[in-house]
A and B are shown apart, each in its own frame.
Chain A
Amino acid sequence: MFSLLRWHTMSRPATLLMTTCLTSLVVIALATTAFAVTAAENERSSRDGTVEVLWESGYAQYDTLLIASARGETVAQYPVIEGQNWVITGMEDGRYQFILESQSSSKFLFTLGVTHYSLSAAFSLFVAGLVMFLYLLFTLIKGERSD
């Protein structure tokens, strides 16, 4: 395989760069998995305002999934359809309680903390993307003219 790729012709800095990239990917994948395993079950968080509530068999006795703010105000409510998950999106920064309700009983599911990414980080990426896109346009136009 190495001879196929002519690995031995790679310079030392190039080999080092590729090894570093691969190692960092493995470390980050392992760290992400470990974090996911240790996260608390009744406390969840979201950085993009989206959350998925997975169906469990005991939920069939309830009629409504209620989302309440930290102050107890109802933000939204959705019907319970047997066997179906809920994907809820578009939530703003804040803490929300997820509760299943029927006429006779209710069940607290979890608290969701929504903290969106900072705008400065988002715009930094946006500007970087814009600059790279303009450079791509420039390269294509220049290439086209000299063609």
Chain B
Amino acid sequence: MTDFMLARDTALWILVAFGVVWVAWGWYLGRNNRTIEDYALAGRNVGFAMATATAMATWITSNTTLVAPQLTYQFGVWGMLGYSMAALGLILFAPLAQRIRTLLPDGFTSGDFIYRRYGRFAWALFIVISLCYAFGWLVSLGMAGGLLLSSLSDLSYLTGMTAILVICVGYTLLGGLKAVIATDFVQSIVIITGVVIVAWVCIDTVGFETMHTTLTEQQPALLDLLFPAAIMFFFNNVFFGIGEIFHSNVWWSRAFAFAPGIGKRSYLAAGLLWLPIPIVTGFIALAATSLNLIPPSADMVGPMVAAKLLGSIGAVFIFVIVFSALASSMDSLLAATSDLLTQDIVKKLLRPDATSDTLLKVNRYIVIGLGVGTWCIAAFKLATLGALLNFTGAFVASTIWPIVYGLYQPKLTGKWAGIAMFAGTVSGLVGYFTIGFYVAAIISCGVSLACCRIGIWQSKDMFHWHKLEEKG
């Protein structure tokens, strides 16, 4: 145990306090949920402030608090800047959110759109991709909880991972999307305040000059603007971020939940507010060597540096920030993935005649099932967070063009949208295994674009947008 670690009892007390407060609040917010629309879409009437906060807080996650420092530690300045470009996903989704709300006023999930626009073949592939991504992200969040606890206290990885899953499943189950959005609002304030203080202390304690000197001597590539792997990574991360947001039901369910006219403004504001956050969280990783810290796993560098800088009180502080970041994403993902499974698998395939009450019950069982499933996979801790997340990049980036053309280009057919997703994903995985995790998304997106263009060029069909308003 190092000098900056939390005592076992302190860590357990924080976990219990977090658990009780969030779960009780979730119960309070969800006590009036009567229908599946109340539970899954917060009554389709979320206002601008809540909408912006939930979009931003959901995007501040283990990615931002653990993976941004990891990528800065591996790719230096380019890693930090490249990571912040994930904000483009939120910014570019702004116009899409408005169009989605207009074209599908009664829509529930991203799967609804793909089914109505492209038919079963593309929908089946899309659901597989969505679920692979959702599980990858959920597992990475569970892993992040475990890593956080094991790096900041002498509690085990399994304890941390179990704690975050139990807490998030608890309040999502009781409160639905209302609880998710309200907790996100508070969590976003905690996170932003926290990361600004940590960065300030880092600059004040270590200083730019010391950091620059140490990096020049020991890790010169991190300051090199011509660092090849980092240059490869830059646009890969841009397309990974765009793919994550464009396809994921986390963002679509919000587009359906926000009041009319709110989606475009709130996604744009959330993206602009999110942009500098990875720069702040990533920057502190550059101080690791100056502090004589060497992480046992690249994704632990952020919490280690922060805890070292702030001492034992700082460890509590970091614990709260990162736990908030993890919870704000995990709850959203649990809610959105359970909606996707309820609407797209249960309602479309298994029980088309299910009532709102039945779907509400099923949705809650699915939230519990997702929690259990995530625990089983995260327990194995198969990869680092960065590697695991970027593995899913091959899947999600293949959906960018089918989504964009699906909303704006009537000539793309379901067959070619499906081929684009399939060929893009496979090519991205080939790149992941043969070159590295930093090229998977860009290759996937490029191949998917080529397939879509061939499809549009060959097509003689024209899709009529009013068909999207028909029930699937």
Q: Which residues of A contact B (CB under 8 A)?
A: 4-7, 9-11, 14, 17-18, 21-22, 24-25, 28-29, 32, 47-50, 52, 55, 65, 75-76, 78-79, 81, 84-92, 116-119, 121-123, 125-126, 128-130, 132-133, 135-137, 139-140, 142-144, 146-147
Contacts and interface: CB of A to CB of B under 8 A. Distances in A.
B229 A122 contact: yes
A17 to B, nearest CB: 6
B171 interface: no
A10 B415 contact: yes
Given A132-B442, A139-B405, 10 more contacts: A11-B415, A21-B422, A25-B430, A90-B76, A116-B228, A125-B236, A126-B231, A128-B235, A132-B449, A140-B404
B236 A21 contact: no
B445 A119 contact: no
Contact of B408 (A6, A9, A118, A143): A143
A interface majority secondary structure: helix
B231 A123 contact: yes
Contacts, number: 173
Interface stretch (B161-169, B292-300, B325-333, B339-347): B292-300
22 contacts: A18-B423, A21-B427, A32-B434, A78-B294, A79-B294, A81-B2, A81-B296, A87-B294, A87-B297, A90-B219, A117-B228, A121-B232, A122-B228, A128-B446, A130-B235, A133-B235, A136-B92, A137-B92, A140-B95, A140-B96, A143-B99, A143-B407
Given A78-B294, A136-B242, A147-B99, A89 B74 contact: yes
Contacts of B449: 132, 135
Interface residues of B, number: 66
Contacts of B220: 90, 92
Given A18-B422, A78-B292, A87-B297, A50 B235 contact: no
B238 interface: yes
Interface string B28-71: 00000000000000000000000000000000000000000000
